[in-house]
Amino acid sequence: MLLERAELRVVSLPLLRPFRTSFGEIRDKTFILLRLSGEGLHGVAEGVMDAQPQYREETISGALALLRETILPGILGRRWENPEQLTRHLSAVRGNRMTLATVEMAYWDLWAQARNLPLSTVLGGVRSEVPVGVSLGIHASVDATVESAVRHAEQGYRRIKLKIQAGWDVEVVRAVKAALGTLPVTVDANAAYSLADLNVLRALDDLGLDYIEQPLAWDDLRDHAKLQALLRTPLCLDECITTAQDARKALETAACRLVNIKVGRVGGHLEARRIHDVAAAFSAPVWCGGMLESGIGRAHNIHLASLANFTKPGDTSSSSRYWARDLIHEPLETRGGLMPVPAGPGIGVTLDLPFLESVTRHTEQLGPVTVPVTPV
């Protein structure tokens, strides 16, 4: 289909309550929203890069420049037959996986709409609802964390994930485990530890966790392999995995035993599906992580999580946990620990345009593009 126009927005949504990790505290989620238009349809996606390069190396300002100056001018005014063709074109750009994912995901939405099919169907999904857990940020006290964990367990969530950092780890995890009984509990360090913290990591290993997520450096497979050999608890990698090759190397070297797939981190749905397939070949489960997305990014994640090897509960919990009002009309809410996959064409949700205008900080339009005609 012909890509005719693009709209870039920088959007800032206030969180219902602050969300704290080892990176710091978030009160407002600021992100890029991209809308691609062609043949009367609009595909939309959000970028998961932050203002500062803390999680990975990309930033909002850098992504905007790359999109505006290089990527979008290279694809607008051209006809793309399918997402594979567009992705081959985008592969000429080194790195910048989050920026590329924003474009690729918006095109998948557009392409699926053109076929009047849900995104999950064209991706090869097999579920109409996906199992869901919650991710709990760092709270003010152990008691507050336990109360939050118990409350979410009572709501039916199928896994509780605790954000941890040095000094906020063993004590709080032990207390939550004691309160929840057999409900799976995991921890996410966001690369806050090193092998020098082996005593703490071994103490966590004794607590019966389902897995420990990204304990060591964001770019270090080797030390994760060393650590996994010393622990009984499976390690799950997040920040380290941006391609299917990364996943293969991590699983081949036993740097982890399962993978968190974030479609926005790995370059889009095609690469996410490749990682899913690589993990399945190693009999390693995967689950869908989140980046505090609005309903647009959350819908993309839910569709991806409908694939067969997403056997662990993901982070696609109810939007109402985060936002007083979401960017979309359709509620994305769990029922008994399950999130329904939106059933409409594409990602199956629609933008609340008046509200979107009220939370938009910056807008720019690209196109329509006139394709030059070469004289014969």
Q: Active-site residue numbers?
A: 163, 262
Nearest-Å Rg of the Cα atoms of the chain is: 20
Q: Give the DSSP H or E segment for 126.
A: none
Angstrom distance (rounded) from CA 235 to CA 256 = 5
Distances (CA, A) of 68 to 5, 27, 71, 99, 225: 12, 28, 7, 11, 39
The span from the first CA to the last CA of the chain, in angstroms, equals: 25
Angstrom distance (rounded) from CA 251 to CA 284 = 8
Angstrom distance (rounded) from CA 336 to CA 155 = 7
β-pairing verdict for 286-288 and 338-340: unpaired
Q: Judge whether 294 and 31 are in contact, CB under 8 Å.
A: yes
Angstrom distance (rounded) from CA 298 to CA 290 = 8
Letter string b/e over residues 205-236, b meaning 16 or more CB atoms within 10 A of that residue's CB: bebebbbbbbbbbeebbeebbbbbeebebbbb
β-pairing verdict for 129-131 and 338-340: antiparallel
* The token pair that represents 235 in the structure block: 């390690």
Phi, psi of 271 (to 5 degrees): -70, -35
Neighbours of 93 (CB within 10 A): 16
Residue with tokens 């594979």: 84
Q: Judge whether 46 and 34 are in contact, CB under 8 Å.
A: yes
Residue with tokens 């152990």: 142
Angstrom distance (rounded) from CA 331 to CA 67 = 30
